[in-house]
Structure 1
Amino acid sequence: MSGKALPKPLSDWFAARGWTVRRHQMEMLQAAGAGRHALLTAPTGAGKTLAGFLPTLADLIEQPDFDGLHTLYISPLKALAVDVQRNLLTPIDEMELPIKVETRSGDTPANRKARQRVKPPQILLTTPESLNLLLSQEDSFTLFAKLKHVIIDEVHAFASGKRGDLLSLSLARLQQIAPDMRRAALSATVADPDDFRAWLAPYGDIDTVTHVLGEEGAPADIAIMIPETPDGDKIRVPWAGHAGVYAIPQVMEQIKANRMTLVFTNTRFLAEFIFQKLWEINEDTLPIGVHHGSLSKEARRKVENAMATGKMRALVCTASLDLGVDWGDIDCVIQMGAPKGSSRLLQRIGRANHRLDVSSKALLVPGNRFEYLEAQAALDAVNEGKRDGEPFRPGGLDVLAQHVMTCACAAPFQEDDLLDELQSSLPYSALDKDTFDRVLGFTRDGGYALKAYDKFKRLRRDGKGVWHLVHPRFATQHRLNAGIIVDAAMMNVRFKNGRNLGKVEESFAAILSPGDTFFFAGMSLELVKLDASDVIVRATKKAAMIPSYMGLRLPLTTHLSDRVRGFLTDRAGWARFPDDVREWLEMQDHRSRLPEPGELLVETFPHKGLHYMTAYSFEGWNAHQSLGMLLTRRMETRGLKPIGFVANDYALACWSMEPVTDPVPLFSADILEEEFFDWIEGSYLLKRAFREVAVISGLVDRQHPGKRKTGKQVTFSTDLIFDVLRKYEPDHLLMQAAWADARARMTDVARLGDLLDRAAGSMVHVELDRVSPLSVPVLVMIGREHVAQGATDDALLIEAEGLIEEAMRGD
Structure 2
Amino acid sequence: MSEQRAASGSAAFTHLGSEVRAALSERGFQTPTAPQRAAIAPLAAGENALVIAPTGTGKTETAMLPVFDSIARSETPFGLSALYITPLRALNRDMRERLDWWGERLEIEIAVRHGDTSDYQRQKQANDPPDVLVTTPETVQAMLTGSKLREALSDIEFVVVDEVHELAASKRGAQMAIALERLVELAGDFQRIGLSATVGDPESVGAFLTGNRPCEICEVEAGSRLDLRVLTPEIEPGDEGLASELVTEPEMASHVRAIREVVEENESTLIFVNTRQTAEALGSRFNVLEANIGVHHGSLSKEARIEVEDAFKAGELDGLLCTSSMELGIDVGQVDHVVQYASPREVSRLLQRVGRAGHRSDQVSRGTVIATSPDDALEALAIVDRARRGDVEPAEIHTGSLDTLANQITGLVMGHGDISAREAYGIATHAAPFADLPEETFREVVRELSSNRILWLDEGADSLEKSGGTWQYVYANLSMIPDEATFEVRDVASGRGVGTLDERFVTTFAEPGATFIQRGEMWRIVEIDEEEEKVRVSPVENPTGEIPSWVGQEIPVPQAVAENVGELRRVAAPQFSGGASRESVAREFVSRYPTDLHTASEALEPVERHVEAGHPIPAENRLLIEFSGGTIVVNACFGHKVNETLGRLLSALLGQKTGSSVGLETDPYRIELTVPSGIAARDVVEVLEETDPEHVEALIELSLKNSDALKFRLAQVAAKFGALKSWQGSRGSISMDRLLGALEDTPMYEEAIREVFHEDLDVSGAARVLERIRSGDLSIERVGERTPLGIGGRSSSTELLSPENADASVIETVRERIKEDRVLLACLHCKEWDRTQKVERVSEKPECPNCGSTMVAALNPWAEEVVEAVRKGNKDAEEEKATRRAYTAASLVQGHGKQAVIALAARGVGPRNAAYIINNHRESEDDFYRDILEKEREYARTQAFWD
TM-score by length of 2: 0.72
For 2:473 and 2:494, the matched residues in 1 are separated by 36
Q: Which residue of 1 aligns with 2:759?
A: 745
* Structure 1 counterpart SS, 2:106: coil
Distance 1:117 1:683, change over 3 A: same
For 1:8 and 1:683, the matched residues in 2 are separated by 64
State the shift of 1:792 in Å: 3.3
Q: Which residue of 1 aligns with 2:945?
A: none
For 2:754 and 2:403, the matched residues in 1 are separated by 11
Asked whether the equivalents of residues 545 and 644 of structure 1 are also in contact (C-alpha less than 8 Å), the reply is: no
Cα distance per residue 1:722-769 (max 9 Å; x no partner):
666544452122122122223432455565555555555566443435
Q: Which residue of 2 aligns with 1:219?
A: 225
Q: Which residue of 2 aligns with 1:688?
A: 712
State the shift of 1:631 in Å: 4.6
* Structure 2 counterpart SS, 1:745: helix
For 1:418 and 1:490, the matched residues in 2 are separated by 37
Q: Which residue of 2 aligns with 1:189?
A: 198
Cα distance per residue 1:328-376 (max 9 Å; x no partner):
3321111111011111101001222322432222110111111111111
Cα distance per residue 1:119-146 (max 9 Å; x no partner):
2111111111111221122344412111
Asked whether the equivalents of residues 72 and 123 of structure 1 are also in contact (C-alpha less than 8 Å), the reply is: yes
Q: Which residue of 2 aligns with 1:9?
A: 19
Residue type of the alignment partner of 1:53 = M
1:514-529 pair list within 5 angstroms: 517-519=514-516, 522-524=522-524
Residue type of the alignment partner of 1:715 = R
Residue type of the alignment partner of 1:603 = E
For 1:468 and 1:638, the matched residues in 2 are separated by 52
Return the match for 1:600 from 623, 626, 646. Answer: 623
Asked whether the equivalents of residues 618 and 637 of structure 2 are also in contact (C-alpha less than 8 Å), the reply is: no
1:141-160 pair list within 5 angstroms: 141-160=150-169
Asked whether the equivalents of residues 626 and 783 of structure 2 are also in contact (C-alpha less than 8 Å), the reply is: yes
State the shift of 1:618 in Å: 3.0
Q: Which residue of 1 aligns with 2:749?
A: 735
For 2:463 and 2:676, the matched residues in 1 are separated by 66
Distance 1:328 1:107, change over 3 A: same
Q: Which residue of 2 aligns with 1:802?
A: none
For 2:139 and 2:22, the matched residues in 1 are separated by 36
Q: Which residue of 1 aligns with 2:729?
A: 713
Return the match for 2:122 from 100, 113, 117. Answer: 113
* Structure 2 counterpart SS, 1:483: coil
State the shift of 1:194 in Å: 1.2
For 1:486 and 1:89, the matched residues in 2 are separated by 33
State the shift of 1:99 in Å: 0.7
Q: Which residue of 2 aligns with 1:363?
A: 368
Distance 1:674 1:67, change over 3 A: closer
* Structure 1 counterpart SS, 2:83: strand
Asked whether the equivalents of residues 39 and 186 of structure 1 are also in contact (C-alpha less than 8 Å), the reply is: yes
Distance 1:324 1:488, change over 3 A: farther
Q: Which residue of 2 aligns with 1:50?
A: 61
Cα distance per residue 1:369-411 (max 9 Å; x no partner):
1111111111111211221133334231000000111111111
Residue type of the alignment partner of 1:247 = H
Q: Which residue of 1 aligns with 2:443?
A: 437
State the shift of 1:217 in Å: 9.0
Asked if residue 28 in structure 1 is aligned to residue 39 in structure 2, the reply is yes
For 1:310 and 1:434, the matched residues in 2 are separated by 58
Residue type of the alignment partner of 2:304 = A
For 2:506 and 2:757, the matched residues in 1 are separated by 16
Cα distance per residue 1:416-459 (max 9 Å; x no partner):
1221111111111111221111111122222xxxxxxxxx2532
For 1:725 and 1:517, the matched residues in 2 are separated by 25
For 1:495 and 1:581, the matched residues in 2 are separated by 38
Asked if residue 567 in structure 1 is aligned to residue 568 in structure 2, the reply is yes
Q: Which residue of 1 aligns with 2:256?
A: 248
Greater helix share, structure number: 2
Q: Which residue of 1 aligns with 2:673?
A: 654
Residue type of the alignment partner of 2:554 = R
Distance 1:263 1:686, change over 3 A: same
For 1:359 and 1:782, the matched residues in 2 are separated by 31
Q: Which residue of 2 aligns with 1:508?
A: 505
For 1:495 and 1:296, the matched residues in 2 are separated by 26
Asked whether the equivalents of residues 448 and 721 of structure 2 are also in contact (C-alpha less than 8 Å), the reply is: no
State the shift of 1:266 in Å: 0.5
Distance 1:673 1:191, change over 3 A: closer
State the shift of 1:102 in Å: 1.1
1:171-182 pair list within 5 angstroms: 171-182=180-191
* Structure 2 counterpart SS, 1:113: helix
Distance 1:306 1:128, change over 3 A: same
* Structure 2 counterpart SS, 1:581: helix
Residue type of the alignment partner of 1:92 = G
For 2:106 and 2:804, the matched residues in 1 are separated by 65
Distance 1:3 1:784, change over 3 A: closer
Residue type of the alignment partner of 1:773 = P
* Structure 1 counterpart SS, 2:367: strand
* Structure 2 counterpart SS, 1:773: coil
State the shift of 1:45 in Å: 3.7
Asked whether the equivalents of residues 633 and 671 of structure 2 are also in contact (C-alpha less than 8 Å), the reply is: yes
State the shift of 1:57 in Å: 0.8
Return the match for 1:585 from 603, 607, 611. Answer: 607
Unpaired runs of 5+ residues, structure 2, are: 1-11, 240-248, 576-584, 591-599, 811-947
1:428-577 pair list within 5 angstroms: 428-446=434-452, 456=453, 458-461=455-458, 464-471=461-468, 474-491=470-487, 503-512=500-509, 517-519=514-516, 522-524=522-524, 533=533, 547-571=548-572, 575-577=588-590
Unpaired runs of 5+ residues, structure 1, are: 234-240, 447-455, 703-708, 798-811
State the shift of 1:7 in Å: 0.7
Distance 1:232 1:753, change over 3 A: farther
Q: Which residue of 2 aligns with 1:807?
A: none
1:396-411 pair list within 5 angstroms: 396-411=401-416
Asked whether the equivalents of residues 120 and 143 of structure 1 are also in contact (C-alpha less than 8 Å), the reply is: yes
For 1:252 and 1:539, the matched residues in 2 are separated by 33
State the shift of 1:515 in Å: 8.2
Q: Which residue of 2 aligns with 1:780?
A: 795
Residue type of the alignment partner of 1:732 = T
Residues paired across the two proteins, number: 753
Return the match for 1:379 from 384, 393, 396. Answer: 384
* Structure 2 counterpart SS, 1:682: coil
State the shift of 1:545 in Å: 9.0
Cα distance per residue 1:621-640 (max 9 Å; x no partner):
46656765665565556569
Residue type of the alignment partner of 1:58 = D
Q: Which residue of 2 aligns with 1:800?
A: none
Residue type of the alignment partner of 2:316 = K
* Structure 2 counterpart SS, 1:478: helix
Distance 1:648 1:526, change over 3 A: farther
Residue type of the alignment partner of 2:458 = R
State the shift of 1:65 in Å: 4.1
* Structure 1 counterpart SS, 2:680: coil
TM-score by length of 1: 0.83
Return the match for 1:67 from 55, 68, 78. Answer: 78
Cα distance per residue 1:205-258 (max 9 Å; x no partner):
4xx11112337797222111232233599xxxxxxx9x9664111111222222
* Structure 2 counterpart SS, 1:294: coil
* Structure 1 counterpart SS, 2:97: helix
Q: Which residue of 2 aligns with 1:395?
A: 400
Identity over aligned pairs, percent: 26
Asked if residue 98 in structure 1 is aligned to residue 114 in structure 2, the reply is no
For 1:261 and 1:116, the matched residues in 2 are separated by 39
Residue type of the alignment partner of 1:792 = N
Specify the structure having the higher radius of gyration (Cα): 2
Asked whether the equivalents of residues 525 and 540 of structure 1 are also in contact (C-alpha less than 8 Å), the reply is: no
Q: Which residue of 1 aligns with 2:844?
A: none
Asked whether the equivalents of residues 72 and 106 of structure 2 are also in contact (C-alpha less than 8 Å), the reply is: yes
For 2:334 and 2:456, the matched residues in 1 are separated by 54
* Structure 2 counterpart SS, 1:310: coil
Q: Which residue of 1 aligns with 2:805?
A: 792
For 1:729 and 1:316, the matched residues in 2 are separated by 45
> Comparing 319-328 with 404-413, which one deviates more in the overlay?
319-328
